[in-house]
Amino acid sequence: MSELIIHITGARPNFPKAAPVIAALREHDVAQELVHTGQHYDDKMSAVFFRQLGLPEPDVNLGVGSGSHAAQTAATMVSLEQLFLDRDPALVVVYGDVNSTLAATLVAAKLQIRIAHVEAGLRSFDPTMPEEVNRVVTDRLADLLFATSPDAVAHLGNEGVDPNRIHLVGNPMIDTLLANLDRFDAGVARREFGMEGDYAVATLHRPANVDDPSDAAALVRAMHGMADHVAVVLPLHPRGRGSLEAAGLFTHPNISVVDPLGYVEFLGLVRGARLVVTDSGGVQEETTMLGVPCLTLRPNTERPVTITHGTNQLVVRDDLPGRVKAILSSPRAETWPTPPLWDGRAGERIADVIVRDVRRQP
C-alpha cells in the first residue's frame, strides 16, 4: 500500500505552516511530494518563501494563477484530480483556508483519499468571508484535523466531529517563526525604510476593507488618522491596491507604501514596530509571539486565542486613531501571555500522527 503523502500549498500563508511539517516527516523516512498550485505566483508572494524557509522546490507547480473564487477553485480541482489519480497518495495534507485547500479537499474526498487539515477548527462565524466557507467544508471532509488552539477543538466538537479525528498540536507557523527568530533584524528593517523613531506596520487586503469604494475610503480616513500619530509602513498586497490608491491612501506623507516583503524581511519589520494594524489572520498570531500590539481591523477573528493569550485587539475603523494613540502612550510590555503548545514543536506532533495514520498504526 502506498505511503505517499502529498502536501498542497497555494498561497503565501501556507508556506510557513507547511515547512515544519515537511521537515518533521523527513525524519520518519516516508515518501512525500510538495504541490504548489500557483494561487500566489509572483516572487514576493511565493518563491521567496521557498528560498527563505528551506522548503524543497515543489515537485509540481500547477500554475493556476489568479481569477474569481470559482474559476481558481475549479482550475485547481481539474489539475489535482489527474495528479491524484496518477500518484495514488495515501494522504493529502492541506493547510489553512485558501481556495487551494478547498479544491484539494473536494478532489481527495471524491476519490476517497484520506485528508489531513492543518489549522482545523478555526471559526469567525462570518459566512460572508470566503475563508470561512473553505474552513467549514474542509473540516467536514477531513479525516485528520490538526487544531492550533483549544477553542478550535471546541468548535469541532460542537459541530459533531468525532473526537478521534481531532488532534490539538499547536501552531506550525509558530514553529517557523521561532526557528527563524534570530533572522528577524529590526535594525536592518529600520535602515531599509528610514525609520528612526516609533513606527507602525499595516497589512490590509480583506474584501470587506478594500473592495467597495466606500469601505476603501473609510479605511483610508482611518489610516490617515493613524498616520497623524505615527509613521506607517504598509507592504501592500496586490489585492485592493487600486481601490486604496483611488481613495487617496498614498497622499499622507507619513505613510510609506511598499511592495510585499519576504518572510524574513516582513517579520524583521514587525519585530521593530511599535504596533501593527492588520486584517490578516496569520499576522495576529505572529504579533502574539513577538509581543507587538496588534489592532485587527475586523468585527471578528477566527483566532480569539490571540486576544485571550496574546497582544491582539479587534478595532473598528473609526476607533483606529484613538487606539493607536493609546498604545503609543503606554509603555512597551516586557512579558505577555502566549497560547498553549505554541512551542516550536507542532510540526513534530503533526508528523507523528500522520505517520501512524499512513502506516495504520494505533
For residue 286, being part of any structural domain is answered with: yes
For residue 41, being part of any structural domain is answered with: yes
For residue 199, being part of any structural domain is answered with: yes
Q: Do 353 and 275 have their domain in common?
A: no
Mean local confidence (pLDDT), 176-187: 95
For residue 141, being part of any structural domain is answered with: yes
Q: Do 52 and 90 have their domain in common?
A: yes
**What's phi and psi for 345, nearest 5 deg?**
-125, 15
Which residue from 344, 345, 11 is spatially nearest to 177, judged by alpha carbons? 344
- The answer to whether 265 touches 186, Cβ cutoff 8 Å, is no
Tens of pLDDT along 94-107? Answer: 999 999 999 999 99
**What's phi and psi for 308, nearest 5 deg?**
-75, -25
- The answer to whether 27 touches 16, Cβ cutoff 8 Å, is no
Q: Do 157 and 22 have their domain in common?
A: yes
Strands 312-314 and 5-9: unpaired
Confidence category of residue 7, pLDDT binned at 50, 70, 90: very high
- Domain tally, the chain: 2
Please say if the pLDDT value at position 178 is more than 80: yes
For residue 336, being part of any structural domain is answered with: no
For residue 246, being part of any structural domain is answered with: yes
Query: First and final CA of the chain: distance in angstroms?
Result: 17
Question: What secondary structure does DSSP assign to 270-313, as a single string?
Answer: HHT-SEEEE--HHHHHHHHHHT--EEE-SS--S-THHHHSSSEE
Predicted TM-score of the model (pTM): 0.93
Which residue from 164, 144, 106 is spatially nearest to 21, judged by alpha carbons? 144
| DSSP letter assigned to residue 39 | S
How many angstroms separate the CA atoms of 60 and 34, rounded?
7
Residue 338 is predicted with a pLDDT of 94
Q: Do 46 and 140 have their domain in common?
A: yes
Residue 50 is predicted with a pLDDT of 75
The answer for 357, left when phi > 0, alpha when psi is -120 to 50, beta otherwise, is: alpha
Grid coordinates in use for 115? 485528508
How many angstroms separate the CA atoms of 115 and 137, rounded?
12
For residue 334, being part of any structural domain is answered with: no
How many angstroms separate the CA atoms of 332 and 329, rounded?
9
Q: Do 98 and 192 have their domain in common?
A: no
Q: Do 36 and 112 have their domain in common?
A: yes
- Catalytic option among 36, 117, 205, 224: 205
Which domain CATH number covers 289?
3.40.50.2000
Q: Do 153 and 57 have their domain in common?
A: yes
Q: Do 213 and 146 have their domain in common?
A: no
Q: Do 11 and 158 have their domain in common?
A: yes
Q: Do 140 and 207 have their domain in common?
A: no
Tens of pLDDT along 294-312? Answer: 999 999 999 999 999 999 9
Please say if the pLDDT value at position 167 is more than 70: yes
Judge whether 205 counts as a catalytic residue: yes
Grid coordinates in use for 146? 490538526
- The answer to whether 158 touches 152, Cβ cutoff 8 Å, is no
Place of cell 510538495: 34
Q: Do 166 and 21 have their domain in common?
A: yes
Angle at 294 between CA 293 and CA 296, to 5 degrees: 160
Residue 10 is predicted with a pLDDT of 87
For residue 337, being part of any structural domain is answered with: no
Q: Do 290 and 188 have their domain in common?
A: yes
How many angstroms separate the CA atoms of 279 and 283, rounded?
8
How many angstroms separate the CA atoms of 181 and 43, rounded?
22
Grid coordinates in use for 260? 510585499
Confidence category of residue 120, pLDDT binned at 50, 70, 90: very high
Residue 74 is predicted with a pLDDT of 92
Mean local confidence (pLDDT), 134-149: 98
Question: Which domain range does residue 98 map to?
Answer: 5-171+342-358
